[in-house]
Amino acid sequence: MSDENAAYPKRASGAPLALEQREETGDGRRFSPSIARNRDVVRDVFRAHMPTAGQVLEIASGTGEHGTYIVSALPDLSWTYSDIDPAGRASQTAWAQQTGDGRLHGPLEIDVTVAGWANIASLSDFDGVFCANMIHIAPFAATEGLFQGLGEGLRQGGRFMLYGPFARDGDIAPSNARFSEDLKRRDPSWGVRDLVRDILPLAASVHLSLVEIVEMPANNLSVIFERA
């Protein structure tokens, strides 16, 4: 179960409601307790399976902590934040300013439910895409739009890392089942997605091949795809 990017008020486009208490600093940075718990394992999986040099675009960057932390360990990598929510973009900007790292770019305003977002983001310029804890706290149209854009814009051989809680062909951990029911009470269009029934068919339809499924703490998964 994971809630680290669920930090923002609900919007008509489906951006998420707050699911965990945020810590904020006077300089505008936000801190997520759950990111603090899992950032090391997420970084390690990224380093093992994603580009360690070049440019990566993050979708729904939330507080901005994941990208900031990953880049700090990979000196040849540049990272571009993005978010639909202004509060998220403000935190990402603050993180980039605080670190002073010129390899942190953006944030871009990206709504993956808008057709053509991949062109707006110049997705073909990126070697990889990272998305953590978005698809269960947005309508399924956001997942469909995310993959449609990846199919349209991600270059051949480009990689995509998707992190969060999942069911697997109807099998779901009890904690994830409870989490999903709680999400659906907040918004019926939200909920933990099924990797086998929902995600892999979408990926295959846009020529994204499954590379690896990595078990993560707290019943989360990291799922790695490559553009064929």
Q: How confident is the model over 136-152, as pLDDT tens digits?
A: 999 999 999 999 999 99
Residue 195 falls inside a structural domain:
yes
Please, what's the b/e burial string for 9-34 (b: 16 or more CB within 10 A of its CB; e: otherwise)? eeeeebbbeebeeeeeeeeebbebeb
Residue 189: its pLDDT value, please? 98
**Contact of 207 with 151, CB cutoff 8 Å:** yes
At residue 19, the pLDDT reads: 57
Question: Would residue 14 count as lying in a domain?
Answer: no
Residue 65 inside a domain? The answer is: yes
The parent domain of residue 131 ranges over 23-227
Rounded to the nearest 10 degrees, the angle between the axes of helix 86-99 and helix 65-73 is: 30
Enumerate the β-bridge partners of residue 199. none
At 217, phi and psi to the nearest 5? Answer: -60, 160
CATH code of the domain containing 91: 3.40.50.150
Q: What is the pLDDT of residue 21?
A: 55
Query: Domains in the chain: how many in total?
Result: 1
Is the separation of the CB atoms in 167 and 138 below 8 Å?
A: no
Q: Say if 9 falls within a structural domain.
A: no
Strand pairing category for 53-59 and 76-82: parallel
Is 6 among the domain residues?
no
Whether residue 120 lies inside any domain: the answer is yes
The segments of the chain whose pLDDT lies below 70 read: 1-25
pLDDT of residue 80: 99
Please, are residues 36 and 66 in contact by the beta-carbon 8 Å criterion?
no
